[in-house]
Structure 1
Amino acid sequence: MQLKKVLISLAAATLAAGALSPTASAQSSLDSLSSSPAMGELSSALGKALESAPKEGEQAPPEEAAVDEEWRSISVAGYGQRKYLVQVPKNFYPNRTYDVIFGFGGMGNDVPFTKSYMNLAEHTDGTAIVVYPQPTMGRNGQLAWEGPNYASTRRGEDVAMVKAIANELKHSYRIHSVYGTGLSNGGGMALSVACQEPTLFDAIAVVASANYQPIFNNCHGAVDTLFIHGTRDATAPYGGPAIGANAHGGRYLSAQAAFRNVGERNGCIDVNNPRQGFGAGYDPFIFDGCAAHTEIDRVNNGEHTWFPFNPDATERVVEFFREH
């Protein structure tokens, strides 16, 4: 995991000069992320995938993370108090540097539930401090992050919270790199931070991201970005028309269109012809000549979920952060 903000900013200024302006609009029939009787705020698609994995023996229950965790609150200038859960490795050494990973859950997902499927601390081998911020209640009665119509927070409000938390952690610990990941609406939240505060995250990795229009408006700067998205995602379409809309959240981009949009902002040479790589259980497509790494991992027949296997989303996300 390397700090590349200065180099990225300089390269972006040169390469992005000829890039197209971000296409507006963002994603998903998030009506399917409505409450399920069994899982409460969990989307039916996500709940089905997560519940089926242990039953089919595809994924063993996660080991308990060797962390000390506590709820903290922070005052965000102009926006009031916000809460977040922080996980610090038990073998923490004050003179050692650590990475920070922010995890943003999908619509309706509170912190305990988000932590239960991301399991970020369990995969970082004591090298990272993990933060799970708590979203606010949306207009639709579900917890939500800024971006879609159903969110109650204004543009920049949740981003300001993330910035305040990051600054607080940098005062308390020796921090090397800061990363962000999220599912669906939470993936959109990580993209929002990269858009509005590109020097805050060294890289982001988003899973089944909800790519709503405001997420891509007036962005600047380049950030290493990984999309992980299933081709059978009925909530946040992988392909099809570049721009769609729904009454629930507003206008959105397909995953492929969002990938191209970020590629343009990251100064990539040709956003219409990505290079195909090789992956275990997924097909990576990568733009070349970028100021910041830009990739989409296509999960064939994958649905709208935090993938428990083929690929294991948490393993893939942490791997990407270690490389960037």
Structure 2
Amino acid sequence: MFCCPPKLSPLKRMFWLLCASVLLSSSAVAQDGVLRQRLKERLQQRQAERAPAPTSPTTITQPGDYRLSLVHQGLLRSYLVHVPQRDLTSQALPLLVAMHGGGGNMDFQADDSRYGLISASEREGFVVAFPNGYSRFAGGKLATWNAGNCCGAARDGQVDDVGFIRQMVSQISAQLPINPRRVYATGMSNGAMMAYRLACEAPDVFSAIAAVAGTDNTRVCQPGKPVSVLHIHAKNDDHVLFHGGVGPAAAIKSAETEYTSVPATVSKWTGLNACSQAPKRMLEQAGALCESYAPCQGGAQVQLCVTDTGGHSWPGGHKPRGGEPPSQALSANEVMWDYFNRQPL
């Protein structure tokens, strides 16, 4: 603020006030210009933040990675697809649907440094799809699957995840030469539980599943036809306990359930598939063993692979931080693809 100096003649006083007025006006204009520029920059920043991120093509035309979506029962659902480097005109390819654990998301399950499924896709020549579970967040984080008695918001909201995955498989099959007899499902933890629900309710789509660290917690299961089941679990899993129940590693027990045990899950599916009750040892090595129940109705198989260690994890995979590292006594990816290759066509 400018103060008029004392003891000025009327003429000098008028001149001084005129100069002060010009200075104040210039200062105000300058400040207004700075403010306008800052507001403009902030508006541009907000527009950039709100602008949609670059997306991959919405149509699958060649090998590579795709980020896609569909609307099912009013919900926008997202999924990733990896198409291996293969001639897409020469033969129909298998499709593997790989589902993340509860609280994860599709990007997490597609992380090759953790699960190695992209590398397996390239090595074995199958298409792999990573659907995103139900999430309350726009970015799809902290997602869960409605696998029956588990888990979280997907279960509580009775989200139709079976319908979503059916629609996703149909959408992929309309764009790629997928062998309808070789559509499989796998998952980790809550994703494994979702694989069991798909076996129960979509046996016309999935001929076999491989569940890792997640048991069958469906409420109703009447598949109507045999579905082969491979179950992989660590004896010392501290989340989905081998002999049933929710373990100490569970973060929010109210979002989960008292999990069915591994033996009860295997017994259920040997019964549903009318399998031989005497298991045959398929693999036995330091830290791991696999047993197969066969023959089963329609050529189906039920197989159980158990690791001594690894806790709640994907055998053969990697955990960048936290928790017990996965067992390296066997590779879930190798065991599962060997298992899928042995299924009748």
Q: Same fold (TM over 0.5)?
A: yes
Work out the CA distance in 2 between the residues paired with 1:133 and 1:99.
17
**Aligned with 2:260 (options 247, 250, 253):** 253
1:126–1:255 distance in 2 versus 1, CA, 3 Å: closer
Closer/same/farther in 2, CA of residues 211 and 235 from structure 1, 3 Å limit: farther
Q: 261-270 vs 175-184, which deviates more?
A: 261-270
The amino acid of 1:286's aligned partner reads S
SS of the residue corresponding to residue 206 of structure 1 reads strand
Cα root mean square deviation, aligned: 2.6
In 2, are the aligned partners of 1:181 and 1:187 still within 8 Å (CA)? yes
Counterpart secondary structure, 2:268: helix
Tell me the equivalent position of 1:196. Answer: 201
- Please say which structure displays the higher CA radius of gyration: 2
Deviation at 1:251, TM superposition (A): 3.7
- Alpha-carbon contact 1:138-1:144 (below 8 Å) kept: no
Indicate the residue corresponding to 2:80 in structure 1: 85
CA contact (8 A) 2:275 2:296 kept: yes
Equivalences, count: 252
Q: Is the 8 A contact 1:212 1:249 kept in 2?
A: no
TM-score by length of 1: 0.70
Say if 2:264 is the partner of 1:264: no
Pair 253,83 (structure 1): closer, same or farther in 2 beyond 3 Å? same
> 1:288: how far off?
2.8
Q: Does 1:282 align with 2:288?
A: yes
Structure 1 match to 2:120: 123
Corresponding residue of 1:46: none
Match status 1:317 vs 2:324: no
Question: What SS does structure 1 have at the residue aligned with 2:192?
Answer: helix
SS of the counterpart of 2:67?
A: strand
Whichever residue aligns with residue 268 of structure 1, its letter is C
- Verify: 1:73 aligned to 2:81, yes or no: no
Q: Does the 8 Å contact 1:68/1:88 carry over to 2? A: yes
SS in 1 for 2:200: helix
Distance 1:266 1:114, change over 3 A: same
Alpha-carbon distance in 2 for matches of 1:172, 1:82: 18
Question: Displacement of 1:100 after TM fit?
Answer: 0.6
- Between the aligned residues of both structures, percent identity stands at 23
82-91 vs 188-197, greater mean Cα deviation: 82-91
Q: Is 1:294 the counterpart of 2:289 in the alignment?
A: no
Give the deviation of 1:79 after TM superposition: 4.4
Contact 1:99 / 1:178 at 8 angstroms: preserved in 2? Answer: yes
SS in 2 for 1:310: coil
State the one-letter code of the partner of 2:115: M
Question: Per-residue CA shift, 1:91-137, capped at 9, x if unaligned?
Answer: 34234211111110111111221111222231132621110001112
Deviation at 1:219, TM superposition (A): 4.2
Amino acid at match of 1:83: S
- Per the TM alignment, residue 237 of structure 1 is displaced from its structure 2 partner at its CA by 1.5
* Partner of residue 31, structure 1: none
Distance 2:151 2:103 in 1: 14
Q: Any conservation in 2 of the 1:266–1:290 contact (CA below 8 Å)?
A: yes
TM-score under structure 2 length normalisation = 0.66
* 1:74 shift after superposition: 1.6
What 5-or-longer segments of structure 2 have no aligned partner? 1-61, 246-252, 317-327
- Higher RCO (CA < 8 A, seq sep 6+): 1
**Secondary structure, aligned partner of 1:86:** strand
- Deviations 1:156-182, CA, capped at 9 Å, x for gaps: 711111111111122212212111111
Query: How much has 1:278 moved relative to structure 2?
Result: 2.0
